[in-house]
Amino acid sequence: MSDAVVIVGGGLAAARTAETLREEGFDGAITIVGAEPHLPYDRPPLSKEVLQGKKEVATASLHDEAWYADHAIDVRTGTTVAAVDTAARSLTLSDGTLSYDVLVLATGSRPRVLDVPGGDLEGIHYLRTVDDSMALKEAFARGGDVVVVGAGWVGLETTAAAVLAGCRVVVLEPQPTPLYGVLGPELGSVFTALHEEHGVRFRFGEGVASFEGDAGRVTTVVTPSGARLPADTVVVGVGILPNTELAAAAGVEVDNGVVADELMRTSVDGVYAVGDVARWFNPTLGYPLRVEHWANALNTGPIAAKAIAGTAVENDLLPYFFSDQYDLGLEYSGDVPRGTTTEIVYRGDVPGREFVAFWVADGSVLAGLAVNMWDVIDDVKALVRASGPVDLVRLADPGVPLADLVP
């Protein structure tokens, strides 16, 4: 068992790695190095309950200072890592140096930034951190016109928060529907209808050509077609990029994330990667993938920690995410590789937004989406893990328990 573990990154994946190390009996030194001035926190509330004012921002924190002290975990907030020397097993920090026996990279990701004229004007927001969420909440409270760029999960959740705050919202999306690349046009149209019922206007096939402003603050969004949209606040949600620069400079293999195996081990001995930044081999699916959702940060840290501690590791993880928009809640699990030909099988009331949708290829369930239906996602995961032929007629029949369909 190693003497000192250093975790670079101050989010959920970092905290979960440290927690699990202690749970597994690791009694060496644990240090978390985070660039933000905050203790590790959960990100989902930032675009949901916290942004909507339903919960205080403090509820997003994972543990208080006393918990870290009680578990002998040294958390260094507001500290950046300039370089990693994997040969010497040392880090160059913004305030000194730090040695390690095992290094865990939990550096996460950052929002893609629009590179267009006027992109640096005040009033243009990206949502990733606690501070981002608080600034956006204040902006929504002022009301007025909000333009959301991108109809992905972050875009739709912030749209809902803006509407609930009393703002007028226009959403720009280059694709034909919201969530087009994730869910496809059939299910994307469900979310179009949901938001339009709340007064949201969509402009599909549109992006941003430029931003215009007055006195340094955004006032107008200009689209490639020449449309000019008034904007007191702009939210940009066009994806994220993994923070791989530190790993790449240290000679760790990088390919759309830090490459890792099923135990989160990278190409360099003694270096692990967890959370958003990791592109790891999923033994359940049989191929590598990088997942940008909360559950990935929640679960990959413990896998790395158990491997470091030398205890038994069971990695049967499947991608999972959830979302809340107005009175619609959903859970999704599984993965549909890009380019896979699938059919969607529905169970339940699609117009009433209470249903489960299954993506099926060659008779097997690859993924499932449960909308306003709870306590079914475990059965969806079981069907995905089984990876066997399913009777599609029975799959669509709400009278047949999903558990009875697992091959």
CA–CA separation, 81 and 91 (whole Å): 7
The whole-number pLDDT of residue 388 equals: 87
Query: Which two three-digit tokens encode residue 163?
Result: 């509407």
Write down the pTM of the prediction: 0.95
The whole-number pLDDT of residue 407 equals: 84
Q: In what order do the strands lie in the sheet with 320-325?
A: 320-325, 328-334, 364-371, 354-361, 343-349
Q: List the one residue out of 1, 11, 136, 24 whose CA is nearest residue 62.
A: 11
Residue 57 contacts residue 134 (beta carbons within 8 Å) = yes
The whole-number pLDDT of residue 2 equals: 62
Structural domains in the chain, sorted by start = 4-110+240-309 (3.50.50.60), 113-236 (3.50.50.60), 327-405 (3.30.390.30)
Q: What is the pLDDT along the chain (407 residues), one digit of tens a residue?
A: 569 999 999 999 999 999 999 999 999 999 999 999 999 999 988 898 989 988 898 889 999 999 999 999 999 999 999 999 999 999 999 999 999 999 999 999 999 999 999 999 999 999 999 999 999 999 999 999 999 999 999 999 999 999 999 999 999 999 999 999 989 999 999 999 999 999 999 999 999 999 999 999 999 999 999 999 999 999 999 999 999 999 999 999 999 999 999 999 999 999 999 999 999 999 999 999 999 889 999 999 999 999 999 999 999 999 999 999 999 999 999 999 988 999 999 999 999 999 999 999 999 999 999 999 989 999 999 999 998 899 999 999 999 999 999 98
Q: What are phi and psi of 298, to 5 degrees?
A: -65, -40
CA–CA separation, 259 and 280 (whole Å): 6
Q: Indicate the length of the chain as a whole number.
A: 407
Q: DSSP letter string over 100-162?
A: -SEEEE---EEE----STTTT-BTEEE--SHHHHHHHHHHHHT-SEEEEE--SHHHHHHHHHH
The whole-number pLDDT of residue 53 equals: 87
The whole-number pLDDT of residue 196 equals: 98
The whole-number pLDDT of residue 1 equals: 53
